[in-house]
Amino acid sequence: MNNELKTVKGLGDKTLLLLNKLNIYEFKDLVSYYPYKYNFLAPQRLIPDATILVNAKIITAPSVFYIKKNLNRLTFKAIVDNKEIKVSIFNRAFLKVHLHIGKIISLLGKYDASKNLFTCNDIKLTPITKTTIEPVYHLVSGLTNKSIAKIISNALIFRYNLDDDIPLVYKEKYNFLSKEKATLILHNPTNLAELKQARLRTIYEELFAFAFKINYLKIKNATYDGLKRNSCLTKLKKFIKDLPFSLTPDQEQAVNEIYEDLISEKRMNRLLLGDVGSGKTIVAALAMYINYLSGYQSVMMAPTEILAKQHFEELTKTYAPYGINVAYLTGSMKKSERSKVLKDLKEQKIDIIVGTHSLLNEEVEFANLGLVITDEQHRFGVNQRSNLQNKGAKCDVLYLSATPIPRTYALTLYGDMDISTIKTKPAGRKDITTKVFTMQEISTVLKAILEELKQGHQIYVVAPLIEDEEENGIDVKTLAKNYEKAFGTITNIAIIHGKLKQSEKDKIMQDYLENKIGILISTTVIEVGINVSNATMMVIYSANRFGLATLHQLRGRVGRNDMDSYCYLISDVFTPRLKVMEESNDGFYISEKDFEIRGEGDLFGTMQSGDMKFKMADLRKDMKIFMQAKKDSLEYLSLGNLAPTYQNIIKEIDFLQ
């Protein structure tokens, strides 16, 4: 692979290795390694206290002071705006040989008038005389913005034909720049207008291909014959009536939508989107009941064994009066048990089977699978989604997701599916009292923990790291020691983190579930779906280091019944995100806020998976372009005579299904 790049001028083995670190292996990786932002540089007057660019004439030879091993400071005097000033820059000792008296250069940084000192972030050896747009790349040490841009320019000279995924019709319709021209401009822009054009066509190209995929999946799904099922409203209503609680209106609506899908001949491909604790499991249980009434088997998959087990236990209880056979299959089962389950499944002695996602990869055979349900599905990309449907020829699919993303974005990301949303939580659910404390105020939190323990309740404690080299005492292991000292005589304390074996984690979670552990100290491994209703307090250390989605998911581990529950966020800085957490318990509200705050917005960690990883497009900003690309790609599909890229996309999807 590297061979292709070796022919590019100026690209030796050493640089190639550096590029590999940036995931650049092939020519197309290189030319599409776009800058993540651009600096707009133009010479300015010497204004104090703002980041500015000024041109300067050097009047003294520079001297370098070595302060520490990795810290040096270069200083010299210069004339700027007819004024003699001091100039200083850190860690650029290597510039010394280039800075001769009389030379004119550009300084980028801040001017402190009281010290008459200009502290630079950067020095440009060639002075900038007119507005210049400087591409900024994500780098690794050994590469500079300049060297990357140079390599890419050379690469573009070496081979000028680039694959363009925008079909000719739309290139002409929108009068887009050619791919080659746009690529050159992105790496070497000379004015804003052309940069905008280049970005637009590149974003459109990416989103067109993505939208095409989603559109094709959607059309294809619609052409599938589903299974025919008997209407069963009377039985379904009775089942719902006999539940220990009544469904919320949103749950009811979701069940209706699923019922319609299942009864109709169309194949269901539906996403059930609902905040943590909104009660998605019972909706799934009802879907499987409808399926069961027509004599089909169902499978329900969860991301971890412990979650799968919890679903299994809950479903067993729910179905107890109805003679429905529920089974559980795991990797850690005894061989004999396992083969019994597999045999029963094949002979349809089992109606519903619960397990992890490995259920579908293994040699699991069904007599007549009718419905596949997958919990916490936000981890999957488009391709994996289609892969799921392989097992039953016509089976319906329901995905459950607790990632509360705004509906418009859900429609984009999951545009190939129908969506049901549960917005409100079951009645009687109290908000989780959420409060931010500093480390100085920690004794208040510890007292509150003691109170909860006295009432027999359980506590979750979360820290970002297992072990912290900086020894500030807020990693899982150190916290465990301190908590042991404080609470060890009253309750059992355990730790859980990603480095433990799955079997160890499962054992600890099981003990916690059975209330054998009072305080569970962990990293974010407990994030997903687990339901321990006796846990009433969540304490999160260094809370400012987590994204909103993670904080909200973590908090969702408590408040799972009508007891008062609490979430304490420990942080010495009070960030906007923490404020949102104090303000609201509503996942949809929080996700909207996350959008506004931007930050790392890890809700959209979802977008980073597989085929939703865009090089330039950002759905948060480029929604309009996406909507257009979606319309166009749908039209394109109907035109027929597709370009090879799109024929290949179709082949790939057809193959997977």
How far are the Cα atoms of 4, 14, 60, 164, 479 from residue 31, in angstroms, in the given order?
A: 13, 19, 42, 12, 48
Distance in Å, CB of 260 to ligand ADP, minimum: 20
**From Mg ion, ligand ADP, none, interface partner of 565 (C-beta below 5 to 8 A by class):** none
Calpha distance 627→333 (Å, rounded): 48
Distance in Å, CB of 513 to ligand ADP, minimum: 13
**From ligand ADP, Mg ion, none, interface partner of 415 (C-beta below 5 to 8 A by class):** none
Distance in Å, CB of 537 to ligand ADP, minimum: 18
**From ligand ADP, Mg ion, none, interface partner of 590 (C-beta below 5 to 8 A by class):** none
Residue number with CB closer to ligand ADP (53 or 307) = 307
Distance in Å, CB of 265 to ligand ADP, minimum: 29
**From ligand ADP, Mg ion, none, interface partner of 276 (C-beta below 5 to 8 A by class):** ligand ADP
Residue number with CB closer to ligand ADP (180 or 314) = 314
- Furthest C-alpha separation in the chain: 93
Residue number with CB closer to Mg ion (135 or 556) = 556
The residue among 375, 370, 423 whose CA lies nearest residue 399 is: 375
Which two structure tokens, joined as six digits, stand for 584? Answer: 């609201």
Distance in Å, CB of 30 to ligand ADP, minimum: 44
The residue sitting closest to Mg ion, measured at its beta carbon, is 529
Distance in Å, CB of 456 to Mg ion, minimum: 25
Residue 355 CA, chain-centre distance (Å), reads: 24
Enter the DSSP assignment of 560: -
Size of site (CB under 5 A) for Mg ion:
1
**From Mg ion, ligand ADP, none, interface partner of 464 (C-beta below 5 to 8 A by class):** none
The residue among 165, 160, 164, 197 whose CA lies nearest residue 182 is: 197
Residue number with CB closer to ligand ADP (94 or 322) = 322
The verdict on 529 binding Mg ion (CB under 5 A) reads yes
Angle at alpha carbon of residue 454, lines to 450 and 458, rounded to 5°: 75
Q: What is the CA radius of gyration of the chain?
A: 30
Distance in Å, CB of 375 to Mg ion, minimum: 6
**Contact between 46 and 106 (Cβ < 8 Å):** no
**From ligand ADP, Mg ion, none, interface partner of 285 (C-beta below 5 to 8 A by class):** none
Q: Which residues bind ligand ADP (CB under 6 A)?
A: 245, 247-248, 251, 274, 276-282, 402, 426, 529, 531, 560
Residue 307 CA, chain-centre distance (Å), reads: 21
How many CA atoms, within 13 angstroms, populate the side-chain half-sphere of residue 368?
Answer: 7
Amino acid at 345: L
Angle at alpha carbon of residue 140, lines to 464 and 210, rounded to 5°: 75
Say whether 97 sits in a helix, a strand or coil: helix
**From ligand ADP, Mg ion, none, interface partner of 531 (C-beta below 5 to 8 A by class):** ligand ADP
Q: Which range touches Mg ion (CB under 5 A), out of 42-50, 131-139, 497-505, 527-535? A: 527-535
Percentages (nearest 5) of helix, strand, coil residues in the chain:
45, 20, 35
Residue number with CB closer to ligand ADP (278 or 330) = 278
**From ligand ADP, Mg ion, none, interface partner of 357 (C-beta below 5 to 8 A by class):** none
Residue number with CB closer to ligand ADP (270 or 280) = 280
Enter the DSSP assignment of 320: G
Using DSSP bridges, classify how beta strands 71-80 and 52-58 pair: parallel, antiparallel or unpaired.
Answer: antiparallel
**From ligand ADP, Mg ion, none, interface partner of 282 (C-beta below 5 to 8 A by class):** ligand ADP
Distance in Å, CB of 205 to Mg ion, minimum: 38
What are the two backbone dihedrals, phi and then psi, of residue 19, each rounded to the nearest 5 degrees?
A: -65, -40
The residue sitting closest to ligand ADP, measured at its beta carbon, is 279
**Contact between 213 and 611 (Cβ < 8 Å):** yes
Distance in Å, CB of 587 to ligand ADP, minimum: 10
Distance in Å, CB of 255 to Mg ion, minimum: 16
What does 585-647 look like in DSSP terms, one character per residue? --HHHHHHHHHHH-TT-GGGGGGGSGGG--SS--TTT-HHHHHHHHHHHHHHHHH----HHHH
Distance in Å, CB of 516 to ligand ADP, minimum: 20
Residue number with CB closer to ligand ADP (251 or 291) = 251
Residue number with CB closer to Mg ion (296 or 399) = 399
**From Mg ion, ligand ADP, none, interface partner of 248 (C-beta below 5 to 8 A by class):** ligand ADP
Distance in Å, CB of 562 to ligand ADP, minimum: 9
**From Mg ion, ligand ADP, none, interface partner of 279 (C-beta below 5 to 8 A by class):** ligand ADP
What are the two backbone dihedrals, phi and then psi, of residue 438, each rounded to the nearest 5 degrees?
A: -90, 170
Distance in Å, CB of 315 to ligand ADP, minimum: 11
What are the two backbone dihedrals, phi and then psi, of residue 37, each rounded to the nearest 5 degrees?
A: -160, 175
Residue number with CB closer to ligand ADP (562 or 654) = 562
**Contact between 463 and 474 (Cβ < 8 Å):** yes
Q: Which range touches Mg ion (CB under 5 A), out of 60-68, 437-445, 525-533, 611-619? A: 525-533
**From ligand ADP, Mg ion, none, interface partner of 302 (C-beta below 5 to 8 A by class):** none
Calpha distance 633→652 (Å, rounded): 17
Residue number with CB closer to ligand ADP (310 or 389) = 310
Residue number with CB closer to ligand ADP (43 or 426) = 426
Residue number with CB closer to ligand ADP (213 or 311) = 311
What does 337-401 look like in DSSP terms, one character per residue? HHHHHHHHHHTT--SEEEEEGGGGTSS---SSEEEEEESSGGG--HHHHHHHTTSSTT-EEEEEE
Calpha distance 208→201 (Å, rounded): 10
Strands (E), 18-103: 37-41, 52-58, 63-68, 71-80, 83-90
Residue number with CB closer to ligand ADP (274 or 547) = 274
Residue number with CB closer to ligand ADP (88 or 251) = 251
Amino acid at 600: E
The verdict on 303 binding Mg ion (CB under 5 A) reads no
Calpha distance 369→347 (Å, rounded): 12
Q: Which residue has the tokens 């699923």?
A: 258
Distance in Å, CB of 568 to ligand ADP, minimum: 21
Q: Which residues bind Mg ion (CB under 5 A)?
A: 529
